[in-house]
Amino acid sequence: MRELMYLQAINEAFAEELERDEKVFLMGEGIQTGTFGTTTGLVDRFGPDRIMDTPISETAIAGAAVGASLMGYRPVADLMFSDFMYICADEILLKAAQWRLMQGGTQKLPCVFVANIGGYRKLGNEHSHCPYSMMLHSPGLKVVVPSTPYDAKGLLKTAIRDNNPVIYLYHKGLLPVIGEVPKEDYTVPFGKAAIRREGTDVTVVAISFQLFWVEAAAEMLKDEISVEIIDPRTLEPLDIDTIMTSVAKTGRVVIVDEDTERCGFAAELATQIMEKGFYDLDAPIKRVCAKNYPIPGGIMEKFVLPQPEWVVQAIKDVMVD
């Protein structure tokens, strides 16, 4: 076992899958130079035919990936910022998501759409979204949100080997995070949540980068509140069983999600918990999410995106009888 940065784990996953399967190739804007470090050096090893820089046209990138996957390849379409997925929504939501189902499962569609998510970098509204609720609203897509270097690599390898379209969303705030990553080949299964911290008083479900706010809050409150932290790792498929087992133990729930509060993933998860475990709940479910505003740039960002103190307060609030 050795330690790698999150971005290095992603880069290594790409390299290993490119080496393992000649049908795998990457395409996207600026990937030969590696804008965020996740594809740095790959073109030197695998050449421009498999690490293909593209014009700035998200619709063309996504559409080409769908077409290549239908012809038996395993393309990875790097769309840079997840906000740009709105531009190519037709290719992802109406074609990639639905074509395999519309063909009765007879046609494989093994493509991966990779993009970064999240704020806390003061980049403004068009470079700071977490738009996975839009993806989840389109049946046929798998949605992956790794929060550690170990998961970043293992889940990406699983995504590339899957015969269905996968949305792989890495948080730009996690890129420099260091963690243990095995040298040997491994994958992380979809639909299996991770219990990051065991506790007895409250279940906190933390999505992607928000795991770090929650871990800090749990440590701050450890002498008064026992916090159990659940990291879903994939939002589709969702491991609702692990979450419900925790809820049955603690009776209290806080969901921490960087997506917008209204109609976001946290709202969906809160509803599922209520429907499946209403009588296990000892208090109303609390959500800590982005406010229902466009994400501003500069110092104003902190008034919209979840902050550590919001998480601490929500945990305290849900404990009030």
Q: Give pTM, 2 decimals.
A: 0.96
DSSP symbols for 113-178? EEEEE--SS---GGG---THHHHHTSTT-EEE---SHHHHHHHHHHHHH-SS-EEEEEEGGGTT-E
Please provide the DSSP assignment of 125-140 as one string: GGG---THHHHHTSTT
What average pLDDT does this structure show over 181-189?
97
pLDDT band for 275, please (50, 70, 90 cuts): very high
Domain boundaries, the chain: 2-181, 194-318
Residue with tokens 């299964």: 189
Asked if residue 252 has pLDDT above 70, the reply is yes
Average pLDDT, stretch 146-165? 98
pLDDT per residue as tens digits for the range 94-136? 999 998 888 887 889 999 999 999 999 999 889 999 999 999 9
Is residue 143's pLDDT more than 90? yes
Under DSSP, the state recorded for 184 is: S
d(CA 198, CA 201) in angstroms, rounded, equals: 10
CA contacts within 13 A on the Cβ side of 205 = 31
For the chain, percent of residues with pLDDT exceeding 90:
93
Mean pLDDT for the chain?
A: 96
- Mean pLDDT, to the nearest integer, of 146-171? 98
Which residues pair with residue 4 across a beta bridge?
179
Q: What is the pLDDT of residue 246?
A: 98
What pLDDT score does 27 carry? 97
CA dist., res. 282 & res. 248, Å (int):
10
pLDDT single digits (tens) 40-80: 999 999 999 999 999 999 999 999 999 999 999 999 999 99
pLDDT of residue 194: 98
pLDDT at 310: 97
Give the residue numbers annotated as catalytic, written as ranges: 127
pLDDT attached to residue 1: 78
Predicted pLDDT at 102? 83
Q: Which residue has the tokens 């970043």?
A: 152
- Report whether 150 contacts 180 (CB < 8 A): yes
Proportion of the chain above pLDDT 70, given as a percent? 100
pLDDT (0 to 100) of residue 321 = 66
159 band by pLDDT with thresholds 50, 70 and 90: very high
Summarised one tens digit per residue, pLDDT across range 18-40 is 999 999 999 999 999 988 999 99
What is the domain class of 194-318 according to CATH? alpha beta
Do domains 2-181 and 194-318 share one topology? The answer is: yes
Give the architecture-level CATH label for domain 2-181.
Answer: 3-Layer(aba) Sandwich (3.40)
Look at residue 179 and tell me whether its pLDDT is greater than 90: yes
In this predicted model, what pLDDT tens digit does every residue of 199-249 receive, in sequence order?
A: 999 999 999 999 999 999 999 999 999 999 999 999 999 999 999 999 999
